[in-house]
Amino acid sequence: MAVNPKVSEPQVAPIITLPEDPAPLPPVVGCASGKTPFPGGSGTASDPYLICTAAQLSEIRTRCDKNFILGADIDLGGVVNSFAPLCSLATPFSGSLDGDGRKISGFNYSSAGTDQVGLFKSIDGGTVRDLTLQ
């Protein structure tokens, strides 16, 4: 039997495992600027507003048609109804929120008799991506 030197051994793909809860990403440098209401950005698709705190996240409700990116993980504290859903049925979220691999934790909202409960009250044409809610 002849061996063909051009045929290589079968390749085995490496196995990659990720930790259950990876370490949080460090905040973006611009988060420490102290500017208000946002530490960076202009709200456009190419230059989204930078969000680093719960107060800045809350500002989305006044700019439901703009674009945002998280610059840090945000903890909303877990207190029931301490953070109302963003935007409204009359003014739904139509911009974009890029979580940039970060998380918003502690969102806890309850409202009897309504179906529109979540981080956003209503989204129409907007996008939310790369975001973890805990």
Q: What's the pLDDT tens digit per position in 8-42? A: 555 555 555 445 555 666 667 678 877 878 989 99
Q: Is 47 helix (H, G, I), strand (E, B) or coil?
A: coil
pTM for this predicted structure:
0.76
Q: Is 120 helix (H, G, I), strand (E, B) or coil?
A: strand
Contact status, residue 109 vs residue 117, Cβ threshold 8 Å: yes
In the numeric block, which tokens belong to residue 4? 């063909």
Residue from 66, 34, 81 nearest 53 by CA: 34
Name the percent of the chain lying above pLDDT 70.
78
In the numeric block, which tokens belong to residue 33? 């600027």
Contact status, residue 38 vs residue 49, Cβ threshold 8 Å: yes
What is residue 20's predicted lDDT score, i.e. its pLDDT?
A: 59
Rounded Cα distance between 53 and 74, Å, is 6
